[in-house]
Amino acid sequence: MQVHRNHIAGDWVDSPDAAANTNPSDTRDVVGRYARASQAQALDAVAAAAAAQPRWAASTPQQRADALDGIGREIADRQEELADLLAREEGKPLAEARAEVLRASHIFRFFAGEAMRLGGELLPSTRAGLTVEITREPVGVVSIITPWNFPIAIPAWKIAPALAFGNAVVFKPAELVPGSAWALAEIISRAGLPAGTFNLVMGRGRELGDALLGHPGVAAVSFTGSEATGRKVAQACIGRPGPMAKFQLEMGGKNPLVVLDDADLDVAVACAINGAFFSTGQRCTASSRLIVTPGIHDRFVAAMLARLQTLVVGDARDPRTTIGPVVDATQLRQDCDYIDIGRSEGARLAFGGEALGQVAGRPGHYLQPALFVDTDNTMRINREEIFGPVAAVIRARDADEALALANDTAFGLSSGVCTTSLKQAAHFKRHLQAGMVMVNAPTAGVDPHAPFGGRKGSSHGPREQGRYAAEFYTTVKTAYVAA
Ligand code: ADP
């Protein structure tokens, strides 16, 4: 089987090692073989990026916009093929994979426009005869490290702004999903960027981390992944010799969805099912804590159980499937361990939670979505991120306690409330301690042109996406000019 190679300094290069990319919906199916870069190759990629970056920074905004627009158009033109690859390697149902691919296209095209719009500011000085000019310049070489749960959208929302604002990129995708990353890199490799402006290094994070974080040529690191790895990334960016790297971290969540007595039951159930279980619960914005007040609690639980019966667990590429497999055996074990922990903590498993082993004769990492009831917010299942199709209902005394429980967490990415009261909606919108607040909408699912990010243990550094992305991918220069 042909090995998909890394892209370094404008060339496709062989690596000493390669890994098989397997389909979680059918573990007999090998999607492809993908090179694993050596440390030396990661260093080569950083050096190539450092050499290319000044040329890319000197390109006109129109050149950058045209390149990004071309990438975005090709992604959209190949939506079906890329969605099939994404669903096959990650296990997300085709409908969701199609939406993710389109979103990646929209992100590139949004940042094509942003390349043209990067302006500055002119301030009058407090000193006679001076003016103050504020401009934004590229930050330099950016290492981009991404997780497996959005194999094309997360790379897109980091790579597009990095390139739009004149930076060079070394991109290291997650080990489990090199296929979508390679396909994206191949498209970018034909976009007319100077050789070395964009580099792909597939491989193991812990092996390549030193080169991608510790090399003094790397000016900034954008990371999405687990909290534990995020901390290591931060330490490496600060602890390295020479100048520290700027860093941006998107990590976990333990997102609450509050359902108040006056909620529209259908809306609340739709939000909870989507937020907790779609994408197999493998979203940092997933609703894992369903905090419900007494007047609606029993009706909500009954309606959730009825709706759960209708979900179809199966092959991600089967159009009837609504819940695809868990991404791999390790994640499945983690999900099952947490289901055992929940039971041993006294939570009642009201639905699902069984690993299915196979569906329709296909061996895969299938898990029946799990709903716990009678839980409280001190249980480990309500404090630690599970990252699977596992949600827990917590009964709150009233709206005030619901708000306090929602905020009683180490994380703060996304929080939701379902209510028909304008007063309650305004109150929760104001007091939920999260980067994103959803009113009568699922905690997961965000727009490509709006800022994304969280508070507390969920995030560190400037927001991603939308106009706010410029904060991370540029550095501000203040010039004092005497005329
Ligand atoms: P996930 O559970 O989503 O795989 P991780 O935090 O383990 O979360 O991985 C996210 C990304 O970070 C992946 O691309 C992984 O290869 C990378 N990574 C893991 N360890 C390190 C490290 N020590 N330094 C740099 N990147 C790492």
Catalytic residue list contains 284:
yes
Query: Whose C-alpha lies nearest to ligand 1, atom 13?
Result: 174
Other Cβ atoms within 10 Å of 36 Cβ, number: 20
CATH of the domain at 266: 3.40.309.10
- Ligand 1 atom nearest residue 236's Cα: 24
Asked if 116 and 104 sit in the same domain, the reply is yes
Distances (CA, A) of 66 to 78, 194, 470: 18, 14, 19
- Reference 412, options 236, 238, 253; nearest CA is 253
Whose alpha carbon is nearest atom 4 of ligand 1?
Answer: 147
Q: Which H helix or E strand runs over 123? A: strand 121-124
- Crossing angle (nearest 10°) for helices 61-77 and 178-189: 130
Nearest ligand 1 atom to alpha carbon 204: 16
Is there a domain that residue 148 lies in?
yes
CA 227 to ligand 1: nearest atom: 6
Q: What is the pLDDT of residue 354?
A: 98
Helix ranges (H only) for 165-264 are 178-189, 205-214, 227-239
CA distances from 459 to 343, 412, 456 (A): 30, 8, 7
When divided into structural domains, the chain yields a total of 2
**pLDDT tens-digit map of 376-409:** 999 999 999 999 999 999 999 999 999 999 999 9
Q: How far is CA 42 from CA 36, 47, 172, 188, in A?
A: 10, 9, 9, 18
Task: Examine residue 448 and state whether it is found in any structural domain, yes or no.
Answer: no
Say if CB 217 and CB 47 are below 8 A apart. Answer: yes
* Cα–Cα distance for residue pair 462/460, rounded to 1 Å: 7
> Are residue 426 and residue 468 in the same domain, yes or no?
no
Which residue's CA is the nearest one to ligand 1's atom 19? Answer: 205
Same domain, 274 and 366: yes
Examine the domain organization and report whether 408 and 271 are in the same domain.
yes
Q: In this structure, what token pair is assigned to residue 163? A: 């390139």
Residue 483's pLDDT is 77
Kindly state whether residue 450 falls inside one of the protein's structural domains.
Answer: no
Q: Ligand 1 mean position to 349 CA, how many Å?
A: 31
Domain extent, residue 183, equals 3-251+458-482
* Domain membership flag for residue 389: yes
0.85 exceeded by pTM:
yes
417 & 396 share domain: yes
**Does residue 262 sit within a domain?**
yes
Q: How far apart are CA 30 and CA 237, in angstroms?
A: 36
Ligand 1 binding pocket, CB closer than 6 Å: 145-148, 172, 174-175, 205-206, 209, 225-226, 229, 232-233
- Ligand 1 pocket test, candidate residues 142, 143, 144, 145, most atoms within 8 A of CB: 145
- Calculate Rg over the CA atoms of the chain: 23
Q: Which residue's alpha carbon is at the smallest distance from atom 18 of ligand 1?
A: 205
Neighbouring C-beta atoms of residue 363, cutoff 10 Å: 15
Segments of 352-413 assigned E as strands? 358-359, 362-363, 370-375, 390-395, 411-412
Each residue of 377-416: b (16+ CB within 10 Å) or e? Answer: bebebbebbbbbbbbbbbbbeebebbbebbebbebbbbbb
Percent of the chain past pLDDT 90, that is, above it, reads 100
Q: Which pLDDT does position 473 carry in this prediction? A: 98
Q: Do 236 and 102 have their domain in common?
A: yes
Q: Looking at this protein, which amino acid is placed at residue 326? A: V
Residue 39 structure tokens: 């440390």
Strands of the sheet with 436-439, listed across from one edge = 348-351, 370-375, 390-395, 287-292, 255-259, 414-418, 436-439
Q: How far apart are CA 380 and CA 400, in angstroms?
A: 23
Note whether residue 452 is domain-resident: no
CATH (domain of 55): 3.40.605.10
Q: Which of 100, 114, 250, 464 is catalytic?
A: 250
pLDDT score at 420: 98
Residue 229 alpha carbon to ligand 1 centre in Å: 6
Instruction: Give the end-to-end CA distance of the chain in Å, rounded to a whole number.
Output: 66
The amino acid that residue 314 corresponds to is G
Residues 92 and 237 in one domain: yes
Active site includes 114?
Answer: no
The residue to mutate among 90, 218, 229, 386, having the most atoms of ligand 1 within 8 angstroms of its beta carbon, is 229
Q: Are residues 193 and 331 located together in one domain of the fold? A: no
In terms of domains, do 185 and 321 share one?
A: no
Residue 21 lies in a domain: yes
Do 278 and 238 sit in the same domain of this protein? Answer: no
Going from the Cα of 205 to the center of ligand 1, the distance in angstroms, rounded, reads 5
User: Do residue 55 and residue 102 come from a single domain?
Assistant: yes
Statement to judge: residues 349 and 433 lie in one domain: yes
Distance CA 408, CA 434 (A): 11
Atom of ligand 1 nearest to the CA of 172: 14
Query: Residue ranges of the chain with pLDDT lower than 70?
Result: none
Instruction: For residue 316, give Cα distances in angstroms to 279, 287, 312, 313, 362.
Output: 10, 21, 10, 9, 11
pLDDT per position as a tens digit, 180-207:
999 999 999 999 999 999 999 999 999 9
| CA 385/CA 242 separation, integer angstroms | 35
8 A C-beta contact, residue 56 and residue 197: yes
447 domain residue, yes or no: no
Span 298-309, pLDDT tens digits: 999 999 999 999
Nearest CA to ligand 1 atom 26: 205
- Give which of 451, 450, 429 is closest to 438, Cα–Cα: 429
